[in-house]
Structure 1
Amino acid sequence: MFAVYLTITLLAAALNGMAAIANLISHDYPKSQADKLGVPRSWIRPLGVLLAAGALGLLAGIAVPILGTLAASGLVLYFLGAFAAHLRADDHHFAPWTLFFCAAVAALAVDLTCR
């Protein structure tokens, strides 16, 4: 079971880490998404910091289990907020969101199951 936990946690951390980097370096994709969803561009970097904290928390959770649980829970809440932003903007393009949300939920599920 630990191998499944480790695989899913590393995958979720990598996905969120890449998204965090994209936000922090002001890549065009986060900017276009913010514009489409009506999110102020000034929020892009703080949201990137939240994603980075979640990714680092998942990695730290391998050594300190409570950090992984808290990070995975935070990422689930983050992506529920992103879902609300998509609905508010009447944007029904959920493919990228689904990938990230499912990774966060899977990380939380295996964390709770494994510990």
Structure 2
Amino acid sequence: MSTAHTVVTVLAAAMAGFSAYALLSRAAWVVEPLAEYGVPRSWWTPLGLAKAAGSLGLLAGFLVPALGIAAAIGLVLYFTGAALTVLRARSYAHVPFPLIYMAPAVATLALA
């Protein structure tokens, strides 16, 4: 395992963890856009838990590499869905945000 892979994986886990915390704590700057995009309020907790699981899975990947790869794939799919949701809502100025969170997960896969 390279130093670059370790740094990128920890960064991806931290970003996904922060994103999960922001959603689960109902930070206004996160939930207000979700409401605008039409994401049902009943989905917010499961979506936050999915991000938290991805974050923990990335870190667990240091012990079980297949788990880390699965977590990275899950986060890439999650943030792809988030980007598509933003596009569907025609909130084009917000598209970069899920892509910024997706980038380290993609890099983790590339370095794995």
TM-score if structure 1 supplies the norm length?
0.91
**Shift in Å, 1:95:** 2.4
The alignment yields a C-alpha RMSD, in angstroms, of 1.1
66-75 or 31-40: bigger deviation: 31-40
Query: Which position in structure 2 is the counterpart of 1:69?
Result: 69
Cα distance in 1 between the residues matched to 2:101 and 2:64:
23
Partner of 2:26: 26
Q: Shift of residue 30 of structure 1?
A: 2.0
Tell me which amino acid in the other structure corresponds to 2:98.
Answer: W
Moved over 3 A (4+): none
User: How many residues are paired up?
Assistant: 111
Separation in structure 1 between the aligned mates of residue 80 and residue 96 of structure 2, nearest angstrom: 14
Residue 78 of structure 1 corresponds to 78
Deviations 1:84-106 (A, max 9, x none): 10111011122222211111111
1:86 & 1:35 partners in 2: Cα distance? 11
Q: Unaligned 5+ residue runs, structure 2?
A: none
User: So what's the TM-score if we normalise by structure 2?
Assistant: 0.93
Structure 1: 5+ residue runs without aligned partners? none
8 Å Cα contact 2:21-2:48 kept in structure 1: yes
Q: Which residue of 1 aligns with 2:105?
A: 104
**Preserved contact between residue 73 and residue 109 of structure 2 (Cα < 8 Å):** yes
Deviations 1:53-111 (A, max 9, x none): 00000000011100000000000100111111011101112222221111111111112
Give the secondary-structure state (helix, strand or coil) at the position aligned to 1:85. Answer: helix
Please say if residues 72 and 109 of structure 2, whose CA atoms lie closer than 8 Å, have aligned partners that are also in contact.
yes
